[in-house]
Structure 1
Amino acid sequence: MKWLHLSDLHIVMNANWTVFERDLYKLCKDKGSIDLVIVTGDFHNFTEADDFSKAKNFLGKLMKELNLNIKEDLFLIPGNHDGSCPICDHKDGNIAVLKENPMDLNKKEWDELLGQFKSFEQFVKELIPGYPCVYPAMVHSRIWKNKIRFIQCNSAVVSNSKEKKRQLIDINTFAQIAMESELPTIVLAHNNFEDIHEEQQKQIQGIIRTSKIKAYFCGDRHIQQVKMISSSPLQNCQIPCVGSFKGAPDSTDTYSSYGVIIGNWITEKAKLEGWIWRVEKGFRPDDEISGQTIDMGMPYDSNKEKRAGDSELTVQGKCEDKEKHKCQDCIGDNGVAEKRLFRKLIFNLSDVQRDKVNLKFQSKIRHLEKNESVKDMDKLYYEIMEKNYIDEFINYLKEVYEV
């Protein structure tokens, strides 16, 4: 499989962009079939407020040029430029409070800052109809063709235009998601690992050590970089932090490096190719990225790929009515996504929201506690399914978040 990694699409509609876009389509065609596209944040500029139209048009066209399914094959995460509409009233104060205590993020301040990504979330839902996560700016994961998993992180919640060091992610949710799958996993974040708060860096290293995370992809710095993240004191226990080029040229920007990264996974080690771009030369191989590898833990072909129709056959063999009965043995891919959403919504409830849910369903399910485990949530999910009101329950959770 091959992936295309871009970042920082601060698109300026000028001659350089016109040439770059044409060169990019040719590069992808020359390299063979691209299977999926990753974009690690910054889809526009601060001055464009809620207008993501240039990135939206480009990515729609790119996916068509590559003959890819935009619902399944495009993976996006926000950057610091994407969390600026609407502006939070107490932004600087909230950032100071959260950076002061990164081990126990205050939900009120965090949620207020997270609200700045409403325009980004609308952009994602318009670009990718039926997006599987209710709030695309929150930490979530998606699995591609039962082969590889991406944990999509928002590392820009406490960013501002002045200072981008000591960034934070929703570390507790990230930890829970990281342990959910045995598939090779890649973390997507806008900020370089070195720019994450030092206390959270330690936590992330522990999560990497005990999970199937194989690499950390980012952007933000506008230059291509590969640095290693230690995951254990043992020798050679590291994963690469891969920083991408800036993905849209600007003739007035003399600092940034422009280009893309292509990853190719066949054997146990995926290989990276860096492609740097200059308007007079087009794309050329880049020595900083090219030749770097990611230890995926298994060859690509050894991963079990679900055959078309497998989930349908399983459902027919187990259930007489697959729409009404969603038992643990036959929920299929849609059920897995639904279960993940179920967990996500409950794990992120505030105390007030949790009380509302408990009051609403007090006669139907057990009382929800503050620190539920993944195992407890899975058990509750199947219990609610058996009673045939999982849709009612999830819809109410969504309503609670909207209030």
Structure 2
Amino acid sequence: MDNNLKWLHISDIHYEYENYSTKKMRNNLLKKIDEEVKSNNKFDFIVLTGDIAYKGSSYSTQVKKFINDLINISGIEKENLFIVPGNHDLKRSQVRERLIESISKSKNPLNEIENLDSGVFAELYKGQKNFWKFYDDITGKKYDKRKIHFIEKREKFNIINLNTCLLCGQDYEEEHLSIFLNRLYDVIHNNLELEKVNIAIGHHNIDCLFIEERNKVLNNFVDEEIDMYLCGHSHKPKFSVDNNNDREFYISMAGAGVCDEYAKATYTIGEIIDTKCTITYYSWDNDDEVWNKENKGLGRKVKEGIVSFSIKEKLKYTNLDEKEVYIEEDDFKDFIIDFHNNIGEVEIKDIPLYKENICDKFKNMKCNSALKKQFEMFGKYFSIINDIMKNSSYLGIDKRIIIPNVICEEYNKILNQYNNGNQIVEEIVNNIYSRYKTKIKYSESKLKVYIKTLVFWLINECDIFDDNKENDE
């Protein structure tokens, strides 16, 4: 399966801003994208996450030209421009403000939202009328006004378009917005293919929604196999990871498309090669008037302007005998240290570390070819473990046998409970996962793969799996 993709993410253009710095920045943005395409191939799609206009202003010929220039320079097809509305892409009115205030200040806003009638929806949609006309003109696509959210399906990816702005139109609206959970669920439930890259796009970050909705939105993203969420609104770039679910979920926020005292003009380039995703953040240096990789304020996972993570973990790890394993080196090192620091007290035993013929081990333990193939795939990461185990600056000389002892402890518990080595490996992984899943904040699939890597490493390095299941019959 070829999931290789490349995209451009821009947000909060506010094209009515026409000061010198903003004009200079936008023109150089077009040049920068042109250079990117000529050096590193064209894009597959562009995402604009709202606030094309400013305070409901009209969509001028200038902003349409700017976006069309982006389309032409990036090399995408026009149908692969994806745009969602922002809070500045709507017309405000007293009727709208009073209507929204009555909903957000009701005793149970979420219940109120669940029971809105068609007349109320029509009034909420009215404020976005100009945006959707602009959307039809610039994309050549027709927006289905019967839906708040909708999916656009392509051969290798799906874009889940989210309208986070229907309750916009009042002051201090952050934390008082709704994604309309029931409408979201109806659109995405069982409608997304696991094997495709599924990207949700919206204007607001999750923190702008009602507190009662936030976890439910993330639950639905994870449950329905959405891989990441791209958004804007805050005018500051940010990358965040939610790891309080069945797997990690990634949120990338672009900065603004304007230059002022508050905003940080930032765009991102995302790329997926096989199962590795990288997002690179570029910010405008207004002093030197140049685009550079952004290194500040993005969090520790973003290093030198770039964040890397793996996607499609369930797809990669469900049938490991058929699929290549990818482990991000820095993340795996962090895991080993976290694991060591959280496994608690174990009885320390002297374990003789010496290598034996792996083929003989697997034969004696009655392991099938699938496990041998897994071992070979995981084996390329043994050097990472060895680097940590041999470097006292990571764990300390007296602590490096703790992890091997934890694995050996589990091995000795279950050695005589199963008839073959395949079952033993899986049970070791499951038992260690059950013991430490609440102490180490990794998704289930990633944690199990990391644990299995450690198990295979210990099989390679010491005397577990030296028993002979062939003689048990």
Please state which band the TM-score falls in when normalised by the shorter chain. 0.5 to 0.7
- Please give the residue correspondences for 1:3-402 in structure 2 after superposition, counting only pairs within 5 Å: 3-11=7-15, 12-31=17-36, 32=40, 33-46=42-55, 48=57, 50-70=58-78, 72-84=79-91, 87=93, 89-98=95-104, 100=106, 101-103=109-111, 104-107=114-117, 108-129=119-140, 131-135=141-145, 138-144=148-154, 146-166=155-175, 167-179=177-189, 180-182=191-193, 183-230=196-243, 232=245, 237-249=247-259, 253-279=260-286, 280-287=288-295, 288=298, 289=302, 290-297=305-312
Q: Is the CA contact 1:3–1:36 (under 8 Å) kept in the aligned structure 2?
A: yes
**Aligned counterparts of 1:295 and 1:88: Cα–Cα separation in 2:** 47
1:294 positional shift = 4.6
1:230 positional shift = 4.0
1:24 positional shift = 1.4
Q: Is the CA contact 1:214–1:294 (under 8 Å) kept in the aligned structure 2?
A: no
Structure 2 counterpart of 1:328: none
**Aligned counterparts of 1:99 and 1:214: Cα–Cα separation in 2:** 33
**Aligned counterparts of 1:136 and 1:55: Cα–Cα separation in 2:** 27
**CA 1:47 to 1:111, structure 2 compared with 1: closer, same or farther past 3 Å?**
closer
Could you list the per-position Cα deviations for residues 284-338 of structure 1 after superposition, in whole angstroms to 9, with x for gaps in the alignment?
A: 0112253323533169xx9xxxxxxxxxxxxxxxxxxxxxxxxxxxxxxxxxxxx
**CA 1:59 to 1:90, structure 2 compared with 1: closer, same or farther past 3 Å?**
closer
Alignment RMSD:
2.3
**Aligned counterparts of 2:208 and 2:24: Cα–Cα separation in 1:** 33
- AA matched with 2:258: A
Displaced runs of 4 or more, over 6 A: none
- AA matched with 1:205: L
Aligned length: 289
1:163 positional shift = 1.3
SS in structure 1 at match of 2:12 = coil
Q: Is the CA contact 2:51–2:89 (under 8 Å) kept in the aligned structure 1?
A: yes
**Aligned counterparts of 1:9 and 1:40: Cα–Cα separation in 2:** 9
**Aligned counterparts of 1:21 and 1:136: Cα–Cα separation in 2:** 35
Unmatched 5+ stretches in structure 1: 303-403
SS in structure 2 at match of 1:102 = helix
- AA matched with 1:123: F
**CA 1:106 to 1:231, structure 2 compared with 1: closer, same or farther past 3 Å?**
farther
Q: Give TM-score, length-normalised by structure 2.
A: 0.57
SS in structure 2 at match of 1:81 = coil
Q: Which has the larger radius of gyration?
A: 2
**Aligned counterparts of 1:231 and 1:136: Cα–Cα separation in 2:** 33
**CA 1:284 to 1:161, structure 2 compared with 1: closer, same or farther past 3 Å?**
farther
Q: Is the CA contact 1:263–1:271 (under 8 Å) kept in the aligned structure 2?
A: yes
- AA matched with 1:174: L
SS in structure 2 at match of 1:150 = strand
1:21 positional shift = 2.5
**Aligned counterparts of 1:293 and 1:177: Cα–Cα separation in 2:** 29
SS in structure 2 at match of 1:293 = strand
1:92 positional shift = 2.5
Q: Is the CA contact 1:77–1:137 (under 8 Å) kept in the aligned structure 2?
A: no
**Aligned counterparts of 1:8 and 1:97: Cα–Cα separation in 2:** 27
1:64 positional shift = 1.5
**Aligned counterparts of 1:202 and 1:105: Cα–Cα separation in 2:** 21
**Aligned counterparts of 1:75 and 1:153: Cα–Cα separation in 2:** 11
- AA matched with 1:267: D
Q: Which moved more, 1:185-194 or 1:6-15?
A: 6-15
1:195 positional shift = 1.0
SS in structure 1 at match of 2:239 = strand
Q: Is the CA contact 1:175–1:207 (under 8 Å) kept in the aligned structure 2?
A: yes
SS in structure 2 at match of 1:80 = coil
SS in structure 1 at match of 2:127 = helix
Q: Is the CA contact 1:88–1:115 (under 8 Å) kept in the aligned structure 2?
A: no
Q: Is the CA contact 1:40–1:76 (under 8 Å) kept in the aligned structure 2?
A: yes
Structure 2 counterpart of 1:375: none
SS in structure 2 at match of 1:191 = coil
Q: Is the CA contact 2:56–2:91 (under 8 Å) kept in the aligned structure 1?
A: no
**Aligned counterparts of 2:146 and 2:203: Cα–Cα separation in 1:** 14
Q: Is the CA contact 1:275–1:286 (under 8 Å) kept in the aligned structure 2?
A: yes
Unmatched 5+ stretches in structure 2: 317-322, 324-473
SS in structure 2 at match of 1:94 = helix
Q: Percent identical across equivalent pairs?
A: 19
Q: Which moved more, 1:55-64 or 1:185-194?
A: 55-64
**Aligned counterparts of 1:168 and 1:200: Cα–Cα separation in 2:** 7
1:132 positional shift = 4.3
SS in structure 2 at match of 1:46 = coil
Structure 2 counterpart of 1:360: none
Could you list the per-position Cα deviations for residues 188-237 of structure 1 after superposition, in whole angstroms to 9, with x for gaps in the alignment?
A: 111111111112213212212311111111110000111223452x5xx2
